[in-house]
Amino acid sequence: MATTDLGALQASAQQALEHVTSLEDLKEWRVTYLGRKSEITAALRELGTLSEDERRTRAPEIQQVKQQLEEAAEQASVRVLQQQEADLATSERIDITLPGLVGERGTLHPVTQMVHEISEVLERMGFSQIEGPHMETDWRNFEGLNFTPGHPARDMQDTFHLDSGRLLRTHCTSVTMGHAIEKVEPPFKVFTVGNTYRRDDDATHTPMFHQFDAQVLAKDINLSQFKGTIQEAMRAILQRDDVEIRFRQSYFPFTEPSVEVDVTCTICLGTEGPCKVCKGTRWLEMGGAGMTHPNVLRNFGVDPNEWQGFAWGFGVERPYMIKHGIPDIRPFWENDLRWLTQF
Ligand SMILES: [Zn+2]
């Protein structure tokens, strides 16, 4: 006589299945209702105790219930998986109406911008860029450039001397004259942009500053080509219509004749009272320039009777100040982002 009530079993299994919400639940359900210790397995075992007639009707009933339970479990598994996907779609839904997150974009440092602009202008004018060391020999920084030992002009460039006997270059002329003449066959047009070091520190000077130096070395060069080249370069770099460029007679050991190149002070434009940047002169110095001294050419193995050169060494920060009307050089190096990101 069969003891398992198949109808009740099926009803309770179906009811339990409705509470299944995960694959773990479903696994447990299978153990309970279809596993080795389940009622349906017990019912199948009971078949052996039944008479053949009873078995013949009972066995298909049990098999039918078992098959229905398996099919129901299969449907439940599809339902659980669909629900999981739906939950995931809800939890990971992207709300396109929310404001976006905008990352902060960096900008190039003003000096880097100026270095790029200067390099672009000079390359467009046919100059090739060269590089040289910051730590330099006395020969390339001074003596080869016609600053003989004890020359008073050395005092104008208050120098950082190193224990090795070398020094931190006080100008980039060590590259455009010394290294260039040693390494490049004339005729050439070269420039370099880089750091230079002097023991200066005030509103318009810092101990480390940047210079761009250039030299043209060729045959039959004259002063008007020299002035024309500098004017063209500075106009292209400054991109201002309201500035004038002026050449003022000066003295440097490595050039003859030598000039200082001045540009209109864009801080006051000569209109206001005392200007602390140009100190009322209405002009700002760009730097020195001139025809390369024959002694320099000779020092680096070039015959001055055959070749002539002209050269200049200008600051990088200064044209930036002039271009944008910035009165003080020091904020360039104070790393204040509020200041730096204006440019
Ligand atoms: Zn001024």
Give me ligand 1 centre to Cα 276, in Å: 7
Q: How far, in Å, is the centroid of ligand 1 from the Cα of 20?
A: 84
Given this model, what pLDDT does residue 6 score? 87
Phi and psi at 42, nearest 5°, equal -60, -40
Tens-binned pLDDT, residue by residue, of the chain (343 aa): 557 788 888 999 999 999 999 999 999 999 999 988 989 998 888 888 888 888 888 889 999 999 999 999 999 999 999 998 888 888 888 888 888 888 888 888 888 999 999 999 999 999 999 999 999 999 999 999 998 888 877 777 788 999 999 999 999 999 999 899 888 889 999 999 999 998 877 766 778 889 999 999 999 888 899 999 999 999 999 888 778 899 999 999 999 999 999 998 888 876 756 888 888 888 888 899 999 999 999 999 999 999 999 999 998 988 888 888 888 877 887 888 888 877 7
Centre of ligand 1 to C-alpha 227, Å, is: 24
- Give the Å distance between the CA of 247 and the centre of ligand 1: 18
Cα 8–chain centre separation: 74
174 C-alpha vs ligand 1 centroid, how far in Å? 31
- The rounded distance, in Å, linking the Cα atoms of 37 and 107 is 72
Distance 285 CA to ligand 1 centre (A): 11
* Centroid of ligand 1 to alpha carbon of 327 (angstroms): 9
Alpha carbon of 324 to ligand 1 centroid (Å): 13
Distance CA 118, CA 210 (A): 12
Q: Which residues pair with 246 in a beta bridge?
A: 262
Residue spans of the domains in the chain: they are: 6-91, 110-340
Top-level class of domain 110-340: alpha beta
Residue 203: per-residue pLDDT: 65
Query: If you measure from the C-alpha of residue 206 to the centroid of ligand 1, how many angstroms do you get, rounded to a whole number?
Result: 19
Residues contacting residue 219 through CB under 8 Å, at least 6 positions apart: 187, 306, 307, 308
Residue 156 alpha carbon to ligand 1 centre in Å: 24
**How close is the Cα of 275 to the center of ligand 1, in Å?**
5
273 CA → ligand 1 middle, Å = 9
pLDDT for residue 272 = 59
Answer whether the bond into residue 257 is a cis peptide, omega within 30°. yes
Ligand 1 centre and the CA of 197: distance in Å?
25
**pLDDT of amino acid 338:** 84
What residues are paired with 195 via a beta bridge?
A: 210
Query: Which two structure tokens, joined as six digits, stand for 26?
Result: 């479903």
Give 250 Cα–ligand 1 centroid separation in angstroms.
Answer: 21
**Would you state the structure tokens that stand for residue 264, as one six-digit string?**
């209109």
Residue 280 is predicted with a pLDDT of: 85
CA atoms of 242 and 127, how far apart (whole Å): 26
Question: pLDDT digits over 87-117, tens only?
Answer: 888 888 888 888 888 888 888 888 899 999 9
Cα 242 to averaged position of ligand 1 atoms, centre (Å): 13
